[in-house]
Amino acid sequence: MKPVKLNILAWFMLFFFLGGCASQKVSLTCPSPPVASPLISSRIALKNELDGMIGRELLPYSLASIKVVSLQSGSTLYETNPHLLMPAASVQKLFTAAAVLSFLGSDHSLETSISVNSETATLYLKGCGDPLLSTADLARMVAELTGKLRPGVRYKLIGDTTCFDGAYWGSGWMWDDEPAPEAMYLSALSVNRNTVRVTVAPGKSESAPVQVSVEPPTRYVSIENSGITGKPGGSCKVSVTRPAGERENEILVSGSLAPGCKSVRRRLTVWRPELYTLTLLSELLEKSGVSTDPPLLGIVPADALLLASTRRPISEIISVMLKKSDNLCAENLFKYLAYAQSGQKGTSAGGEKAIKNYLRSQGIPTDRLVIADGSGVSRYNLTNADTIARLLVAASKDQAIFPLFAAALPLAGKDGTLVNRMKGTPAEQRVKAKTGTMQGVSALAGYTVTADGEPVAFAMIVENFVGAKQRVRKILDRIAVLLSTYSVTAPIRATTR
């Protein structure tokens, strides 16, 4: 019997609706838009409505690149400046996700391993970019070493980061984003998102130093605490930072917390994340009774004996990358894709080449694109709504990647970066889309289903605006609502301003 092939509409509706309807129940229908919702009666009316909204609220001071495509007919429902190049912020992660799933498959995984050379008493930790590795993962591997190491021997500890190059940041990243956790340093050996969490609480008495704790507890960072406990009813303001540009791991705490103030929590990046990972491993080994020398970098020899390992499925990484817009997941997958395809150290140039190869394989032109990183953090990235919409259409046709690709997208009003957007509208739990935000840029790209049950892909980028990003987000959300209520039969009503 020949395998049954689903046409694009049937395939899209199956996986979109299974993952996108209200609650966790399996259903093949999304909630119908409320009767009172605005419905767009025709493509001409849709164009007039969107042109008016964009003209009134975005132009002439800002730039917009928008394209909407029917997945049923393949026709363009709406477009404005579809080829205008601009950075798309975190919408760039869609390129990374589709290319990784296409070339590596959802069953692929990233391994982190501990090996030993007993003759030289050397332990090796090798990573290939697992962005979700945690202290708990390291502890589990250390537990697996019980009975496998020689008692009373002091081991050398070597980290192997040769899966990636030595670039700690992406090209075109902004220096003043440091030490925000979204601008973490990069390494093939990453742990705890390459950050520490610092908690500051009032001291036990007035004028006493504030209490500072670090999670995970580690000697890799030091604390300079000049914060004091103030008078009752006083200030609750403290500064917790690692000075930008200083390649050290000293955390500075200053300011004042009065008794009764809530604890202040900050997540900060760490410099040299591979040494951070090795230090945490060394500390865990010490707790288990194994002493080590200060960690160094090197290469695992071919004759080293594998003792313990952990694997992270690509599917899990992509879900976190898209749902939470996780930059480390995107950057490590970007470099790992280059490594897996070439067998050489993963680089940003190799990641760009791999993604452009994928796009060209789908018939998408790449000659005018700039793909500087995998996350969209770089200001050097240049793409447009036409390219993103084509990518979304191509992904929807690929039965090997689309189920995971669609399921990993944030669901409006439900989860991820769309959890608080489009609530109480016909687009709630109907729109699945990736968000993108940076200074002066707001983007939204993904899928929805019209009031007639027609699946569509849309891509929207707005740049060169000033003021609150929430204003532009609301405009993009209103466009997504219009698409979700679009109908060829129902009359048009005025949109909510």
CA distances from 150 to 119, 123, 146, 448, 495 (A): 11, 12, 10, 59, 73
Structure tokens, 93 = 């992660």
Q: Which is catalytic among the residues 62, 65, 70, 93?
A: 93
Structure confidence at residue 31 (pLDDT): 55
Structure tokens, 159 = 């980290």
Q: Is 302 exposed, middle or buried (0-12, 13-18, 19+ CB in 10 A)?
A: exposed
Secondary-structure breakdown of the chain: helix, strand, coil percentages, each rounded to the nearest 5? 30, 25, 45
Give the CA angle between residues 113, 195, 186 to the nearest 5°. Answer: 60
With contact defined as beta carbons under 8 Å apart, do 469 and 437 qualify? yes
Q: Which residue type does 386 have?
A: D
Structure confidence at residue 490 (pLDDT): 64
Structure confidence at residue 282 (pLDDT): 98
Which of 163, 198, 176, 170 minimizes the C-alpha distance to 90? 170
With contact defined as beta carbons under 8 Å apart, do 126 and 302 qualify? no
Structure tokens, 26 = 């399996």
Structure confidence at residue 294 (pLDDT): 97
What CATH architecture does domain 8-88+383-484 belong to? 3-Layer(aba) Sandwich (3.40)
Distance CA(213)–CA(270), nearest Å, equals 16
- Report the sign of the C-alpha dihedral through residues 196, 199, 203, 208, in that order: positive
Which of 147, 116, 90, 25 minimizes the C-alpha distance to 442? 90
Distance CA(144)–CA(39), nearest Å, equals 60
DSSP state of 183: G
DSSP 162-222: TTB-S--S-TT--GGGTTSGGG----SS--GGGEEEEEEE--SSTTSBPEEEEES--TTSE
User: For the chain, which residues make up each domain, given as ranges?
Assistant: 8-88+383-484, 109-169+294-315, 175-269
Q: Are β-strands 156-160 and 122-127 bridged in parallel, bridged antiparallel, or unpaired? A: parallel
Helices assigned H by DSSP within 414-468: none
Q: Which residue type does 20 have?
A: G
| Residue indicated by tokens 């930790």 | 125
Look at phi and psi of residue 413 and say left if phi exceeds 0, alpha if psi is from -120 to 50, else beta.
left
pTM of the model: 0.91
Segments of the chain scoring below 70 in pLDDT = 1-41, 490-497
Helices assigned H by DSSP within 155-233: none
Structure confidence at residue 296 (pLDDT): 98
Distance CA(446)–CA(416), nearest Å, equals 14
Structure tokens, 58 = 């975005």
CA distances from 292 to 66, 286, 287 (A): 57, 7, 11
Structure confidence at residue 427 (pLDDT): 97
The fold of the 109-169+294-315 domain, in CATH, is: D-tyrosyl-trna(Tyr) Deacylase; Chain: A; (3.50.80)
Q: Which is catalytic among the residues 37, 62, 65, 90?
A: 90
Which of 272, 69, 293 minimizes the C-alpha distance to 185? 272
Structure confidence at residue 232 (pLDDT): 93
Structure confidence at residue 48 (pLDDT): 92
When computed from its CA atoms, the radius of gyration of the chain, rounded to whole angstroms, is 25
Q: Which is catalytic among the residues 102, 325, 442, 484?
A: 325
Q: Is 325 in the active site?
A: yes
Residues in CB range of 413: below 8 A, 6 or more apart: 419, 420, 421, 422, 423, 424, 425, 427, 428, 429
